C-alpha cells in the first residue's frame, strides 16, 4: 500500500552526517521543509522532498500546510500497573503527611500489592487502554519498566504482561527490568537476593534486557546499585533513576559503569551535569513528575547547552506522573526545564529513539520506519505553547493509519 502526505510543513529532523544522539547545535535543528511531500510504501518512508511523484493508486492526504513530524518516543514509563492511587493523592493534597499515608499502606507498596494480586492477563488488559491513549496522542514507541513486583515471580509476571501487550499493539514496546525500584526488609539482604536469584532468572527468560535501578533517598543506595550493575553489565545495558530528591553520587558511578542513561536529574549538581554532558550517557528528564509531585525540574537547558545528550519522557506511572502525554512533557520541559521548543521536539523523537537503541525511527528520511504524526497546527511551537488537549490529527504507525476511537 502507498500513501503520500502532500503540502506539509515537514520536520525531517535530519542533519548532515546523521548524528545520533543530537547534541549542541544539532539538538536545535529540525530539518524543516517548508512545503513538502512524504511518500510511504508499506511500513517504510520511501520519498521525502518539496515535490514527490505520486504513485498510481496511492492514497493522498493534503496536509494543508500543517506540521508533519516523527512519532513521539516515550523512553521512560512505568505504564504497567494494577490498582489506583487516587485516594492517597486526594489525602496528600488535603494535607495528610506522606508518612501517615505510607504507614496506612499507601505509596509504591500499594501498587506492589495490587500487581502481585493481578494475573498477567489482567496486567496486560490494564496496559492496553493506556497504550491506545498513547498511540492516539502520537506516541508510537514506548519503553515500559517492571519494578512493582519486588519478587522474582512478580517481576517475571510484569515482564510477561508487557511482552504480551507488545504483541497486540501496532507500535513498539521496549521492556526494561527495573530490579532495583524499592525493597522489602533490609536493603542489604534484599539487594543480595536480587543479584543472586532475581537477576539470573530475569536474564534467562529475557536475555539482554536492560536493567534499571532507583538510587535516591528511601530507595536503593549507591552501593546497592553498583553491586547490581557490576553483575548485570556483563550481559545487559544499564539505566538508573538518580537525583530525583537528593544527589548521592550515582551520576559519576553511572558514567563509570557505562550506563545508557541517568533519569530524573532534578537534584543534580552543575558539576555532575557537566560530567554527564561530556560522557556517552544520556540524561533523561521527566518534567511531568515535577508538575504532579513537587514542582522541581531538571536543569535540562544547562545540560543541553553543555553538550549533553538529552531525552524527554513522561514517566507515566500511578504515583508521581499519571499522564501519557508527550505534548504535555514538551510544554513543561520548555516552561520549567529550560529547553527550547526545538530542543524538546528533538529530545522527544530522535534522541528518544537513540536512547532505546532504535536507529530506524525518529527522523523522516527514506528507509526509516513510517511512524509519523500530522498535527492540527501549522507551527510546531504550538506543541510547547498549548496546554491540554491532543494536538495530533493523524497517526501513521509502521505505515498503518491509526483510526481514532469514535
Task: Identify the three-state secondary structure at position 402.
Answer: strand
DSSP type of residue 55? P
| pLDDT score recorded for residue 105 | 77
pLDDT at 299: 98
Where in the chain do CATH 2.30.40.10 domains reside? 2-70+362-402
pTM of the model: 0.97
Who contacts 70 (Cβ-Cβ below 8 Å, separation ≥6)?
A: 11, 13, 349, 350, 361, 362, 363, 364, 371, 372, 373
Query: What digits encode the pLDDT tens for the residues 8-46?
Result: 999 999 999 999 999 999 999 999 999 999 999 999 999
pLDDT reported for residue 57: 92
Dihedral over alpha carbons 217, 282, 192, 203 (to 10 degrees):
140
pLDDT for the residue numbered 3: 97
Report the top-level CATH class of 2-70+362-402: mainly beta
Give the cell for residue 229.
550493575
Under 8 Å between Cβ of 313 and 76: yes
**Distance, CA of 188 to CA of 190 (rounded, Å):** 5
pLDDT on residue 96: 87
Q: Which residues in the chain land under pLDDT 50?
A: 406
What is the separation of C-alpha 311 from the centre of its chain, rounded to a whole number of angstroms? 8
Q: Which of 272, 260, 301, 266 is nearest to 287 (CA)?
A: 266
Radius of gyration of the chain (CA): 21
How far are the Cα atoms of 21, 31, 295, 348 from residue 15, in angstroms, in the given order?
Answer: 11, 6, 34, 16
Cβ atoms 390, 327 nearer than 8 A: yes
Residue spans in the chain of domains classed CATH 3.20.20.140: 73-355
pLDDT at 1: 78
The architecture that CATH gives domain 73-355 is: Alpha-Beta Barrel (3.20)
Mean pLDDT taken over the chain: 96
Amino acid at each position: 500500500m502507498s500513501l503520500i502526505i502532500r503540502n506539509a510543513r515537514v520536520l525531517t529532523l535530519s542533519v548532515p552526517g546523521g548524528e545520533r544522539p543530537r547534541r549542541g547545535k544539532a539538538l536545535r535543528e529540525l530539518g524543516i521543509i517548508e512545503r513538502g511531500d512524504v511518500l510511504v510504501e508499506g511500513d517504510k518512508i520511501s520519498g521525502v522532498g518539496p515535490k514527490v511523484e505520486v504513485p498510481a493508486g496511492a492514497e493522498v492526504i493534503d496536509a494543508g500546510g500543517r506540521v508533519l513530524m516523527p512519532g513521539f518516543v516515550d523512553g521512560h514509563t512505568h505504564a504497567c500497573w494494577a490498582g489506583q492511587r487516587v485516594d492517597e493523592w486526594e489525602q496528600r493534597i488535603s494535607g495528610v503527611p506522606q508518612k501517615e499515608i505510607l504507614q496506612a499502606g499507601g505509596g509504591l507498596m500499594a501498587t506492589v500489592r495490587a500487581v502481585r494480586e493481578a494475573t498477567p492477563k489482567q496486567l496486560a488488559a490494564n496496559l492496553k487502554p493506556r497504550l491506545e491513549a498513547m498511540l492516539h496522542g502520537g506516541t508510537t514507541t514506548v519503553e515500559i519498566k517492571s519494578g512493582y513486583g519486588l519478587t522474582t515471580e512478580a517481576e517475571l509476571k510484569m515482564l510477561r504482561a508487557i511482552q504480551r501487550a507488545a504483541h497486540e499493539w501496532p507500535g513498539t514496546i521496549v521492556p526494561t527490568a527495573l530490579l532495583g525500584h524499592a525493597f522489602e526488609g533490609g536493603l542489604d539482604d534484599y539487594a543480595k537476593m536480587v543479584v543472586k536469584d532475581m537477576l539470573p532468572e530475569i536474564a534467562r527468560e529475557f536475555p539482554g534486557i536492560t536493567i534499571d535501578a532507583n538510587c535516591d533517598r528511601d530507595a536503593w543506595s549507591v552501593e546497592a546499585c553498583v553491586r547490581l550493575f557490576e553483575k548485570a553489565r556483563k550481559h545487559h545495558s544499564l539505566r538508573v533513576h538518580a537525583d530525583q530528591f537528593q544527589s548521592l553520587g550515582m551520576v559519576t558511578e553511572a558514567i563509570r559503569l557505562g550506563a545508557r542513561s541517568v533519569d530524573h536529574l532534578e537534584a543534580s549538581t552543575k558539576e555532575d551535569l557537566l560530567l554527564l554532558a561530556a560522557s556517552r550517557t544520556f540524561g533523561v528528564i521527566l518534567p511531568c513528575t515535577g508538575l504532579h509531585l513537587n514542582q522541581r525540574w531538571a536543569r535540562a537547558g544547562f545540560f543541553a547547552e553543555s553538550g549533553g545528550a538529552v531525552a524527554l519522557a513522561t514517566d507515566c506511572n500511578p504515583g508521581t506522573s499519571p499522564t501519557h502525554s508527550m505534548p504535555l512533557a514538551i510544554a513543561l520541559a520548555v516552561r520549567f526545564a529550560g529547553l527550547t521548543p526545538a530542543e524538546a521536539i528533538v529530545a522527544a523523537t530522535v534522541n528518544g529513539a537513540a536512547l532505546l537503541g532504535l536507529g530506524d525511527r525518529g527522523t523522516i528520511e527514506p528507509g526509516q520506519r513510517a511512524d509519523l504524526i500530522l498535527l492540527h497546527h501549522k507551527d510546531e511551537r504550538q506543541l510547547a505553547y498549548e496546554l491540554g488537549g491532543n494536538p495530533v490529527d493523524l497517526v501513521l504507525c509502521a505505515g498503518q493509519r491509526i483510526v481514532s476511537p469514535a
